[in-house]
Amino acid sequence: MNERFIKKLMSTTKCSVCGEHYEINNIKVLRHEDDMWFLNVFCPSCRSQALVAAVVKKDKSLETTTDLTKAESAKFTQAFTISADDILDLHNFLQDFDGDFAKLFSQK
Ligand SMILES: [Zn+2]
């Protein structure tokens, strides 16, 4: 699992405000701990910004150097513990998130 991959994954999701896809250049990794990634995404279309948390299993690697075909996307979704929809759900959830990570991590 690397930064390029998580950005690629995030770029498959759409902005919850205007529905445009995020671009890799507008995705910034804030923090990476084990399987947990915190990303800051910016949508150039509507100029909204969001904090996104993602948990990705690192023992399953998949090279994503090209744009995904439909078949690859299906494989991709099965190979990881999260899908683009999960990220979008988190994205929506985190729009109300107050930034207290300690509190978030203590919730089981
Ligand atoms: Zn947008």
For the chain, give every domain's residue range.
3-106
95, burial (CB in 10 Å: exposed 0-12, middle 13-18, buried 19+): middle
Residues in the chain: 108
pTM exceeds 0.85:
no
CA of 24 to the centre of ligand 1 (A): 14
14 or 97, higher pLDDT = 14
Structure confidence at residue 80 (pLDDT): 44
How far does the centroid of ligand 1 lie from the alpha carbon of residue 49, in Å? 8
Question: Is the pLDDT reported for residue 55 higher than 70?
Answer: yes
Residues with beta carbon < 5 A to ion ligand 1? 15, 17-18, 20, 43, 45-46
Using 50, 70 and 90 to split pLDDT, how confident is the model at 22?
very high
User: Smallest Cα–Cα separation from 10: which of 101, 82, 69, 79?
Assistant: 82
- How does DSSP classify residue 84? H
Calculate how far, in angstroms, residue 34's C-alpha sits from the geometric centre of ligand 1.
29
Q: Cβ contacts of residue 15 below 8 Å, gap of 6+?
A: 21, 22, 41, 43, 45, 46, 48, 50
